[in-house]
A = this chain, B = another copy of it.
Amino acid sequence: MSTLKSKILVVATDLFQTRGINSTGVDTIVAVAGTTKMTLYKYFRSKEDLILEVLTTGHQDFQTWLSDKLNSNTKKPSEKLQKLFEFIEEWVTSPNFRGMGFIKASAEFPNEESPVHQLSSEQSRQFRQYISSLATEANIQDADGLALQLSLLFEGAVQAEQMKRGSGAIKYAKKAAKILIDGASTH
Contacts and interface: CB of A to CB of B under 8 A. Distances in A.
Contacts of A175: 145, 149
Contact of A159 (B19, B156, B168, B169): B156
A110 B20 contact: yes
A107 interface: yes
Contacts of A173: 149, 152
A180 B172 CA distance: 11
Of the candidates A18, A110, A162, the one having the most CB atoms from chain B within 10 angstroms of its own CB is A110
A159 to B, nearest CB: 5
B149 A110 contact: no
Contacts of A152: 152-153, 156-157, 160, 169, 172-173, 176
Given A151-B156, A160-B152, A23 B22 contact: yes
Contacts of A22: 20, 22-23, 108
Interface in A84-135: 103-104, 106-111, 120-121, 124
Contacts of A70: none
B172 A176 contact: no
B159 A103 contact: yes
18 contacts: A17-B110, A20-B22, A22-B23, A107-B107, A145-B172, A145-B175, A148-B168, A148-B172, A149-B173, A149-B176, A152-B152, A152-B156, A152-B157, A153-B156, A154-B156, A156-B156, A156-B159, A179-B180
